């Protein structure tokens, strides 16, 4: 296939067009007669001039330089790159959903509101929460919303000195960043040698200044925090609330629920657990669920039902308010809703079980060749710490880059921060044993290559559209747009 290396601006040619508009049914009036000249720009807007075929070829050829779940195995830890069912896309594209204006009268959007109300109920049931707001745009946005709710709760109780949030050192980087956005200070607690929250350091961190604890369970090492009940009791006794980072929900659907563990607030990632596509980095959707005592603080509007009529409820005096325009990523919600309809209770549980099975299988086969810092059953993902037998100066990055030559997307690397040379592998339930075996074989082969021919890894990748890129150059002399 042809190698393509053009920017759209480089194929632009004066006079070419790709657009079509109907013949104007109004007489053209000089613009200056409608808008005063001093408000108009003297400059022409700089956009490319190309034909429709140019547009189609350009983006098609660019897509060929991308790797998605549809291309192959994508074991990116913490990101749950499961298969994105096609029917989800069809349902989201239905004109009766996708062509609704957000300010249409409620009578004309009863189907949309019913879907949202229903999804709220499903997500509440899966997490063991009382209600769910669908408004947050992404996981990090859900964290921010959840923390605002925690802050509002303490403010309402006149407990204004609770200005600190406890975050384990294994947490996602967004946790402390979200807490800072909401104006909290962060206390980091250490993990034990077994990778779990250290109860003693948690105890010493707790005080009447602590607003809450943020936790992922299973945590970022893929381990279940067995002491979660005790942790919850400790935080609650100290007057704090518990926040559940839902990034790892794919491990526990239908098996156990954050609500039952003692969490007060949770965010979901619909783009992880509920199969909505990641879109190359977004849009996601990060619904926030809360227990009964926090429902009053959820963002406005909530979708409520009166008789058989659905409506948007803005009359919530204690609500934190709005955290984004309108009602959330509606298009993403439809996809998640479609997925839950397809799976049902049994399917969701099967998904979590098979996700955990796949991860444990890979871990068992790989631990002979790669360091496994904590050898216990894992949940939906596990973390390796580089090659078992060190080979020259080969590091995790080189292994990841060599995987590209074998046609795989590498695992998450160098996270969690508490594991040296970390490789975080999350296979998901939508991969077959054969796929897992092929990938494992590639990793084993790479471990051998590291010993025999480390240069092969140091210089990898060899057969990708471009090879290793100079990131320092990009940051030192930023070129952020094309210039003639």
Partner 1 sequence: MHRYIPNTNGDAAEMMDVIGVKSMDELFRDIPDNLVLPEALKLEPGISELEIEQKMKELGGNNRSVDDLVCFLGAGAYDHYIPSVVKHLAMRSEFYTAYTPYQPEISQGTLQVIFEYQTMISNLTGMDVSNASLYDGATACAEAAIMAVENTRRDTILVSETVNPETRLVLKNYMHFRDINLVEVPMADGVTDPERLKALMDGSTAAVIVQSPNFLGIIEDLTEIEKIAHGNKSLLISSVDPISLAILKKPSEYGVDIVVGDAQALGNRLNYGGPYIGFMATTTKLMRKMPGRIVGQSLDVDGRRAFVLTLQAREQHIRRYKATSNICSNQNLNALMASIYMVTMGKKGLREVALRCTEKAHYAADKLTGAGKYKLAFNQPFFKEFAVIGQKDADSVNKELLQNNILGGYNLNKEYGIEKGILLCVTEKRTKQEIDQLAALMEVIS
For residues 440-459, which are near partner 1 according to CB under 8 A? 459
| Residues 38 to 97 in contact with partner 1, rule: CB under 8 A | 38-41, 43-50, 52, 55-56, 58-60, 62-71, 74, 76, 79, 81-85, 87, 89-91, 93-97
Q: Which of 1, 2, 35, 237 binds partner 1 (CB under 8 A)?
A: 35
Q: Give the separation between CA 164 and CA 179, rounded to whole angstroms.
A: 9
Q: Which of 430, 439, 450, 457 binds partner 1 (CB under 8 A)?
A: 430
List beta partners, residue 30: none
Stretch that binds partner 1, among 237-245, 289-297, 429-437, 446-454 (CB under 8 A): 429-437
| Residues 349 to 388 in contact with partner 1, rule: CB under 8 A | 349-351, 353-354, 356-358, 360-361, 364-365, 376-377
Nearest Cα to Cα of residue 172 among 244, 239, 235, 229:
244
Q: What sign for the dihedral angle of Cα 243, 247, 253, 256?
A: negative
Minimum distance from CB of 453 to partner 1 (Å)? 18
Q: Which of 332, 391, 443, 447 binds partner 1 (CB under 8 A)?
A: 332
Nearest Cα to Cα of residue 137 among 324, 295, 326:
324
Stretch that binds partner 1, among 168-176, 200-208, 238-246, 442-450 (CB under 8 A): 168-176
The contacts of residue 337 (CB under 8 Å, 6+ apart) are: 91, 115, 118, 119, 122
CA 36 to chain centre: 46
Minimum distance from CB of 271 to partner 1 (Å)? 9
Taking the least distance from each CB to partner 1, the nearer of 160 and 451 is: 160
Q: Which of 119, 129, 132, 138 binds partner 1 (CB under 8 A)?
A: 138
| Residues 185 to 224 in contact with partner 1, rule: CB under 8 A | 186, 223-224
Tokens of 26: 């109004």
Q: Please tell me whether residue 306 binds partner 1 under the rule CB under 8 A.
A: no
Q: Please tell me whether residue 1 binds partner 1 under the rule CB under 8 A.
A: no
Taking the least distance from each CB to partner 1, the nearer of 182 and 451 is: 182
Tokens of 285: 């959707």
Q: Which of 344, 392, 451, 453 binds partner 1 (CB under 8 A)?
A: 344
How far lies 370's CA from each of 97, 267, 307, 358, 441, in Å?
48, 33, 59, 17, 13
CA 104 to chain centre: 30
Q: What sign for the dihedral angle of Cα 137, 142, 146, 147?
A: negative
Minimum distance from CB of 365 to partner 1 (Å)? 7
Q: Please tell me whether residue 143 binds partner 1 under the rule CB under 8 A.
A: yes
Q: Give the separation between CA 138 and CA 143, rounded to whole angstroms.
A: 9
């Amino acid at each position: 296939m042809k190698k393509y290396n053009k920017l759209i601006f480089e194929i632009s040619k004066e006079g070419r067009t790709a657009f079509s508009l109907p013949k104007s049914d109004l007489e053209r009036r000089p613009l200056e007669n409608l808008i005063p000249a001093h408000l108009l720009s003297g400059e022409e807007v700089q956009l490319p001039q190309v034909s429709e075929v140019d547009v189609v070829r350009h983006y098609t050829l660019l897509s060929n330089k991308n790797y998605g779940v549809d291309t192959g195995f994508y074991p990116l830890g913490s990101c749950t790159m499961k298969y994105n069912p096609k029917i989800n896309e069809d349902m989201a594209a239905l004109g009766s959903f996708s062509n609704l204006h957000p300010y249409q009268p409620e009578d004309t959007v009863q189907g949309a509101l019913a879907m949202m109300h229903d999804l709220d109920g499903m997500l509440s049931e899966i997490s063991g929460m009382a209600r769910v707001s669908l408004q947050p745009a992404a996981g990090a946005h859900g964290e921010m919303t959840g923390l605002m709710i925690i802050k509002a709760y303490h403010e309402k109780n006149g407990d204004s000195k609770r200005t600190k949030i406890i975050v384990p050192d294994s947490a996602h980087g967004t946790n402390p960043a979200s807490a800072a956005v909401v104006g909290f200070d962060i206390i980091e607690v250490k993990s034990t040698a077994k990778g779990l929250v250290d109860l003693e350091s948690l105890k010493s961190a707790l005080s009447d200044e602590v607003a809450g604890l943020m936790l992922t369970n299973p945590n970022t090492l893929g381990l279940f925090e067995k002491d979660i009940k005790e942790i919850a009791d400790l935080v609650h006794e100290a007057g704090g609330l518990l926040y559940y980072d839902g990034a790892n929900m794919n491990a526990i659907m239908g098996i156990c629920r954050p609500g039952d563990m003692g969490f007060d607030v949770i965010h979901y990632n619909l783009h992880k657990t509920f199969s909505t596509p990641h879109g190359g980095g977004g849009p996601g959707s990060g619904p926030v669920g809360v227990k009964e005592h926090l429902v009053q603080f959820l963002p406005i509007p909530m979708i409520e039902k009166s008789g058989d009529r659905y409506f948007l409820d803005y009359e919530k005096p204690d609500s934190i308010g709005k955290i984004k325009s309108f009602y959330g990523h509606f298009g993403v919600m439809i996809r998640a809703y479609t997925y839950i309809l397809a799976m049902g209770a049994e399917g969701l549980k099967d998904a979590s079980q098979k996700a955990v099975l796949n991860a444990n299988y890979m871990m068992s086969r790989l631990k002979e060749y790669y360091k496994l810092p904590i050898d216990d059953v894992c949940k939906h993902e596990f973390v390796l710490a580089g090659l078992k037998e060190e080979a020259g100066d080969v590091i995790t990055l080189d292994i990841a880059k060599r995987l590209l030559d074998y046609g795989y997307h590498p695992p998450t690397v160098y996270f969690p921060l508490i594991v040296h040379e970390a490789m975080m592998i999350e296979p998901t339930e939508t991969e077959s044993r054969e796929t897992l075996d092929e990938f494992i074989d590639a990793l084993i082969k790479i471990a051998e290559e590291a010993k025999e021919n480390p240069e092969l890894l140091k210089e990898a990748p060899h057969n990708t559209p471009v090879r290793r890129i100079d990131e320092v150059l990009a940051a030192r002399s930023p070129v952020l747009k094309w210039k003639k």
